[in-house]
Amino acid sequence: MTAVQLPPVAPEVTATLVEDLSPRLRKRLDAAVTKLGARPTRRDGGTVTIAVDDETELRLHAPDGVVATADAITCGCLLAPACVHRAAAACAAPMADPVPETAGRPTRATPEPASATAPAPTADSAPATDPTPTPEPTPTSESASSPEVASPAQRAAADALWSAGAAVLEAGADGAGAVTQAALLRAAHTARLRQLPRAAGAALAVVTLLRAARAGDPSYRTAELVTALAELLGTANRVGTASGAELAAVRGRARRPYSPGGALRLYGLFTEPVVTDSGHGGVRTWVAGSDGRLCTVGDVAPGGVGRALGVADRAVRLGDSALTHRELGRAGLAVSGATVSPDGRLGAGQGVKAVTARGAAWTEAPLAALWETPPSEQAARALRSTSRYGDPDGGGSDLLFLNVELLGAVRESGGTCLLALCEGGIPVRLTVADDDPALAHRDNLMLLATAPGTRLRIIGRLVPAPHPRLTLLACSHPTGEGTIDLGLDRLRRADLPDPAAPVHLAPPQPGESGAHSPLFLLERRVEQTVPAGRAALGMLGDVTAETRRISRAGLHTAAGLLTALCASAAQRDRDPFGRLLPADTDGFAMYWLTAARYTAIVAESLCAASWEDPRPAGISPPIPRAVRTARRGSWCPVPGPPGR
């Protein structure tokens, strides 16, 4: 790629430059993006210069760090400003985060369009001049009693998003080049102007993942693009039919609201490092209130894993507290004038005051109550929080608090994980939260695998899967003294009951090698459509064998969806002269969306069912031989020192 990172470009700038190209130049845009990415660049202050050839230079002016207007990209070629180079540079640069408006900061983690204006394009007209956004009409007294519905402008913006999303699904990631992405960016910008930030954020997430897929980014996952595309289509489809509270959830929020929390007494739980694919790094410290509600204090900024390790020992940005994040994870805070967002983030405004207070052990009130909730109820709560298509402002936590007994390591296709037996006889697979060697996750998990029979109190994040699975974040110390932040603190062999013990392989569990649910037959067709487009699914031919297998498992709806999806992909009508008519992209997109939502809901139901207590009433769980020989003392939810 380039020697110098290109400055971020506002989404509407990219859309405008692509729309201004002639049809002939649009066909050459993807090749120009690839060629431009290999050219040398240099930075001079807020300007980045790309050498298009030996005599022509392309400049991106970003005095504030972001290219905010189309005029800020200039080219020295003879065809400028109508050349393909300006649009190619905008497409090759990363998307800029949205410019904060007076209402506040955006709510979603995915970037939203900036606040410049743009209309929704139609199929029969060229892009028009950006209109000034008009405020939504205030409901009159006659309509005050009826539920609020979407305005005509919002419905038009949602229709444009649906059409752009359906075009991506039709072409697939391999065929969704810069022109298709620009149409999606324009629709996203229009949606944001029409007060539809949730749909706009989903559209920008799709564009980001499309660029990662086409660039061969190793962090790209097809499942993430499936989720983003289904979120985009589903949200756009619901705008026209939703009303009242449902419409508010479909619209989303343009900012994260912080409500007054008053005086809070907080108890530290643990601190976890945060490292993102975008190069950001930091930490998040989890605390619990006297009522058991979970809150977080975070510090994440550009810097990667190095910053994550350094920030852990910096003071918490909350009031006048001198505690570091590591210390807060084991201490307490008394906060006055607190502000809390729906997802539990604590605000750090000027009116917030905090002083250090005594913390509580995990075995003391009020923290001990977190481990008293049955695992099935905790898993159900976490699934509601992590649902792929749930309300982004629904709140809740995806953490689980469990008492477990370690069984040993289990080899999987993706690596090695740690198997533990949870209260209720539920075998749980514990995996690392981050494989970065600079973090302690992997080393700590391998050390714990050498101590079968050790009883621990753990905190993990739910991983939706057909079997109980968590990413391990924190645990009680094997000696029973204190706690371990598994991403930051490093266990030593001397901390284990048998320091010289090798990694122990857990015995096979009942049903571990059983057949998977045939739901994957529908899931793989849903995922297959995203990279290759509708045409790849239409060439499958007869899928009767797959539908029969699904039906035999009792999933008759899934079998019907698979049949309808493949039939819609292969359907191409002809006119009276035998010529192929345009494909029904809207019909195929609706079938695909239904199948994607269905598989997600069934997968979440299977995950919830896997956490149910498998024992009949009054029956104790079977204890593997390896655990019987290594067990030290009787089962106790409170970790104790190992016996002899």
Query: What's 413's domain CATH number?
Result: 2.40.50
Calpha distance 335→78 (Å, rounded): 63
Do 242 and 268 fall into the same domain? no
The DSSP element (H or E) to which 261 belongs, if any, is strand 259-275
Do 40 and 82 fall into the same domain? yes
Q: What is the DSSP string of 347-383?
A: P--TT-EEEEE----TTSTTGGGGGTS-HHHHHHHHH
pLDDT of residue 319: 76
pLDDT of residue 581: 80
239 and 196 in contact (C-beta within 8 Å)?
yes
The residue type found at 171 is A
Q: 3-class SS at 401? A: strand
For 329-484, where are the alpha helices, taking DSSP H only? 375-386, 441-448
Do 432 and 505 fall into the same domain? yes
Do 46 and 159 fall into the same domain? no
CB atoms closer than 10 angstroms to residue 34:
13
Asked whether the CA dihedral 314, 317, 319, 323 is positive or negative, the reply is negative
pLDDT of residue 276: 83
Calpha distance 170→162 (Å, rounded): 12
Q: What is the DSSP string of 93-137?
A: SPBPPPPPBTTB---SSS----S---PPP-TTS---PPPPPPPPP
* Residue 120, in any domain of the structure: no
* Torsions phi, psi for 417 (to 5 deg): -125, 175
Do 196 and 65 fall into the same domain? no
Q: Model's pTM, two decimal places?
A: 0.79
Structural domain ending residue among the three candidates 330, 360, 390 = 360
Structural domain ending residue among the three candidates 92, 112, 128 = 92
Helix axes 197-214, 152-175, angle to 10 degrees: 10
Q: What is the mean pLDDT of the chain?
A: 82
Cβ partners under 8 Å of residue 14, min gap 6: 87, 90, 91, 95, 181, 182, 185
pLDDT of residue 559: 94
Asked whether the CA dihedral 498, 502, 503, 507 is positive or negative, the reply is negative
358 and 308 in contact (C-beta within 8 Å)?
no
pLDDT of residue 510: 56
Do 271 and 411 fall into the same domain? no
* Residue 68, in any domain of the structure: yes
Domain of residue 274: give its range. 259-360
Q: Which of 199, 69, 193 shows the shortest CA–CA distance to 133?
A: 193
Do 304 and 381 fall into the same domain? no
* Residue 139, in any domain of the structure: no
pLDDT of residue 637: 32
Query: What pLDDT digit, counting tens, does each position of 561-596 carry?
Result: 999 999 998 888 887 887 878 888 999 999 999 999
pLDDT of residue 516: 66
Calpha distance 319→333 (Å, rounded): 10
* Residue 590, in any domain of the structure: yes
Calpha distance 157→9 (Å, rounded): 22
The DSSP element (H or E) to which 43 belongs, if any, is strand 41-44
The residue type found at 15 is A
Do 524 and 564 fall into the same domain? yes
Do 458 and 532 fall into the same domain? no
Show the low-confidence residues of the chain (pLDDT under 50): 1-2, 100-144, 511-515, 617-644
Domains contained in the chain, number: 5
Q: Which of 387, 505, 514 shows the shortest CA–CA distance to 449?
A: 505
* Residue 411, in any domain of the structure: yes
Structural domain ending residue among the three candidates 310, 335, 360 = 360
Tokens 């490093």, residue? 490
Do 293 and 183 fall into the same domain? no
Q: How many CA atoms lie within 13 A of 485 on its CB side?
A: 23
* Residue 484, in any domain of the structure: yes
Do 535 and 435 fall into the same domain? no
* Residue 131, in any domain of the structure: no
pLDDT of residue 355: 87
Q: Rounded to 5 degrees, what angle do the CA atoms 350, 356, 323 make?
A: 80
* Residue 309, in any domain of the structure: yes
- Tokens representing 14 are 């990219």
pLDDT of residue 277: 72
- Tokens representing 636 are 């106790």
Do 165 and 274 fall into the same domain? no
CB atoms closer than 10 angstroms to residue 310:
13
pLDDT of residue 387: 78
Asked whether the CA dihedral 595, 600, 602, 606 is positive or negative, the reply is positive
Q: Which of 198, 183, 283 shows the shortest CA–CA distance to 239?
A: 198
395 and 405 in contact (C-beta within 8 Å)?
no
